[in-house]
């Protein structure tokens, strides 16, 4: 076993101090389902594992003053989908949290860790983007907040400096008559990495006939999960119809710039991006109408 230190700071300030001292050789340990394996298989050099599960800000899940959800970066998936109120307000978050790995993974793995791992195929990131989530980041220069769609910068890469850590995700309160959904395509039933995944949130007019606003995101079709603003624009102000949703799906296909690899070809991924965008928009509309 490689020499490695383990520290479990009790406060955010202590965690930042450890990161400031050790730089890039210090890695944040939350669920450990990626980091422990990367270390063991020597895919990542780790000098200090900084276990953040004793820091209250990272393990808390609760409501903000404005009615949104503040999700500590180390909260395990299982805690999210076992909370009935979180599930009622954010069903798309449950869609994601309940299909990342198997039960053994979900009991430890966190949404914050999924985001910080910054896989292009991460199953929580399109949902966070569609829901308009922001990242609260702490470091020696204080705290900063950025939208999730600006967090990832490439496969496995993100905006965090070596001395910074993700503290929490904050999801705004869902608007009235809103709904959201997430889906992924895999060739198995469970336990696989997305060939493509997608999420959408919509806000409908009082009569349910018009999209007042929408956010659409797609994963595994570019170096980072994509927020497709052109799809949002194709929906906003338009009638709720198959034609409008098809126009948004066209925008998603156009934004996709997938690669061909062992999981799928460029053409298949572009096709799937449109299919999944259509499905999540249809489900989001049904949920906005209260029927699902």
Partner 1 sequence: MKRYVSTHINGELVEFLTEPGQSLLSVLREDLGMTGTKEGCNNGNCGACNVMLNGELVNSCCVLGVEVNGGELLTIEGVADGESLHPLQQQFLDNAALQCGVCTPGFIVAAKALLEREPDADEARIRHWLAGNLCRCTGYDKIVRAVLDAAAELRSAPAHA
Enumerate binding residues for partner 1 (CB under 8 A).
Answer: 1-6, 29, 31-33, 36-37, 39-41, 46, 49, 51, 53, 76, 78, 101-105, 107-108, 189-191
Nearest distance from C-beta of residue 65 to partner 1, angstroms: 31
Nearest distance from C-beta of residue 8 to partner 1, angstroms: 8
CB of 68 or CB of 113, closer to partner 1: 113
Using DSSP's 3-state secondary structure scheme, residue 125 falls into helix
Report CA torsion sign: 38, 43, 44, 48. positive
Nearest distance from C-beta of residue 30 to partner 1, angstroms: 11
CB of 37 or CB of 146, closer to partner 1: 37
Q: How many residues are present in the chain?
A: 292
Number of C-alpha atoms within 13 angstroms, CB side, residue 268?
A: 12
CB of 94 or CB of 234, closer to partner 1: 94
Lookup: tokens for 248 = 């948004």
The tokens 């997430």 sit on which residue? Answer: 182
The tokens 């904050």 sit on which residue? Answer: 170
Enumerate residues 6+ apart whose C-beta is below 8 A from 85: none
Nearest distance from C-beta of residue 282 to partner 1, angstroms: 24
Nearest distance from C-beta of residue 38 to partner 1, angstroms: 10
Nearest distance from C-beta of residue 52 to partner 1, angstroms: 12
CB of 46 or CB of 281, closer to partner 1: 46
User: For every residue of 32-93, which 3-state class applies, written as one string?
Assistant: CCCHHHHHHCCCCCCCEEEECCCCHHHHCEEECCCCCEEEECCCEHHHHHCCHHHHHHCHHH
**Whole-number Å distance between alpha carbons of 187 and 128:** 24
**Whole-number Å distance between alpha carbons of 218 and 255:** 9
CB of 78 or CB of 236, closer to partner 1: 78
């Amino acid at each position: 076993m490689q020499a490695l230190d383990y520290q479990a700071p009790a406060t955010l300030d202590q965690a930042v101090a450890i990161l400031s001292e050790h730089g890039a050789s210090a890695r944040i340990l939350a669920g450990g389902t990626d980091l422990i394996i990367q270390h063991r298989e020597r895919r990542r050099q780790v000098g200090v594992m900084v276990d953040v599960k004793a820091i209250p800000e990272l393990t808390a899940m609760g409501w903000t003053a404005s009615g949104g959800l503040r999700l500590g970066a180390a909260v395990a998936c299982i805690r999210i989908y076992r909370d009935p109120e979180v599930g009622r307000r954010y069903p798309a978050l449950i869609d994601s949290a309940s299909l990342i790995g198997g039960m053994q993974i979900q009991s430890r793995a966190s949404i914050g860790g999924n985001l910080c791992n910054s896989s292009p195929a991460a199953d929580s990131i399109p949902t966070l983007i569609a829901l308009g989530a922001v990242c609260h980041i702490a470091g020696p220069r204080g705290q900063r907040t950025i939208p999730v769609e600006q967090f990832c910068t490439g496969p496995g890469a993100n905006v965090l400096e070596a001395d910074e850590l993700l503290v929490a995700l904050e999801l705004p309160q869902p608007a009235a008559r809103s709904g959201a959904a997430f889906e992924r395509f895999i060739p198995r039933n469970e336990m696989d990495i997305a060939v493509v995944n997608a999420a959408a949130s919509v806000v409908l007019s009082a009569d349910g006939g018009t999209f007042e606003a929408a956010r659409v995101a797609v994963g595994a079709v570019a170096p980072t999960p994509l927020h497709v603003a052109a799809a949002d624009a194709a929906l906003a102000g338009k009638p709720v119809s198959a034609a409008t949703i098809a126009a948004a799906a066209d925008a998603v296909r156009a934004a996709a710039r997938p690669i061909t690899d062992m999981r799928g070809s460029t053409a298949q991924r572009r096709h799937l991006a449109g299919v999944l965008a259509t499905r999540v928009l249809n489900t989001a509309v049904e949920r906005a109408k209260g029927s699902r």
